[in-house]
Amino acid sequence: MVEDSLRTAGLEPRGRSWVEPDSACDLLFSGSPDRARIALEGLIERTDVIVQGEAGRRKRLLVADMDSTMITVECIDELADYAGVKAEVAEVTERAMRGELPFERALAERVALLKGLEEDVLGRCYDERVRMTPGAEALVRTMKREGAYCLLVSGGFGFFTDRVAQALGFHRAVSNVLPLRAGRVTGEVQEPIVGAEGKRRALHDAAAEHEMELADTLAVGDGANDIPMIEAAGLGVAYRAKPAVASAAAARIEHNDLGALLYAQGYSRSEWAA
């Protein structure tokens, strides 16, 4: 069925091999990657399709978003729950992630609603609400073991990114600062804000620092502020993302967890870091 679909799209199948039996399969073909993606996406129920060149599939730089990508929640929405304003904050978050609001404006609006929140709530929120996305630790630690540099970039706050980065094994985290005064959130934002351009720049800077081409990079995220880094990366992945992000990305993960990005690089499960 798969080979027939490729032929119908004017492509020539060149064989197949299993990365992981019954879980991940490489299909080789010659022809247009875009035509192959159109032919294959949605062909097999609950199957993700990543089309890429055979050479250079194991990436040397991972740049990953945090909220709703490496972790399962939006931290600012969960903080807002403790402040009793989750509905208001979550609405702004959703609009920003869909690209309907500029990220910087959305961040300022949400942080203003957190004014007066006690500092110790941040620790409670991390302990009680933050959960790592399945496959996240395996992705980071396997790539790190194989010599890749792993960078967590977030429009969220350093209190959370520093802890998530340490828990998952990232080399470093880049994020925003949540200003505090006398043990409470001030309701202000601290410049410069890490938004869409900050994430793209972090990808470029890390690639330059480690003397690698952008083709050697993997970026993954879910919101509109991730689009520039996803478009710039050698392999840009939308992970269970908003429609605008899914449309902009060359690869989309909708059904599997983040372990799919190890399969995409040719790592069988026996090669994953524990």
pLDDT band for position 129 (cuts 50, 70, 90): very high
pLDDT band for position 1 (cuts 50, 70, 90): confident
pLDDT band for position 149 (cuts 50, 70, 90): very high
* Average pLDDT value for the chain: 96
Q: Is the pLDDT of residue 165 over 90?
A: yes
Give bridge partners of residue 52 from the DSSP assignment. none
pLDDT value at position 138?
98
Angle, helices 103-113/75-83, rounded to nearest 10 degrees: 30
pLDDT in tens, 90-120: 999 999 999 999 999 999 999 999 999 999 9
Asked if 67 is an active-site residue, the reply is: yes
Are 2 and 40 in contact by the 8 Å Cβ rule? The answer is: yes
CA of 55: how far to CAs of 28, 58, 199, 216, in Å? Answer: 12, 8, 26, 10
pLDDT in tens, 32-64: 999 999 999 988 899 999 999 989 999 999 999
Q: Is the pLDDT of residue 164 over 80?
A: yes
Q: Is the pLDDT of residue 252 over 80?
A: yes
pLDDT band for position 274 (cuts 50, 70, 90): confident
pLDDT in tens, 191-214: 999 999 999 999 999 999 999 999
Enumerate residues 6+ apart whose C-beta is below 8 A from 247: none
pLDDT value at position 28?
95
Q: Indicate which residue of 26, 48, 65, 205 is catalytic.
A: 65
Enumerate residues 6+ apart whose C-beta is below 8 A from 94: none
- Burial-class residue 247 by CB neighbours within 10 Å (0-12, 13-18, 19+): exposed
For 236, phi and psi rounded to 5 degrees? -105, 125
Angle, helices 158-168/136-145, rounded to nearest 10 degrees: 60
Asked if 127 is an active-site residue, the reply is: no
Are 16 and 27 in contact by the 8 Å Cβ rule? The answer is: yes
Q: Indicate which residue of 22, 26, 67, 127 is catalytic.
A: 67
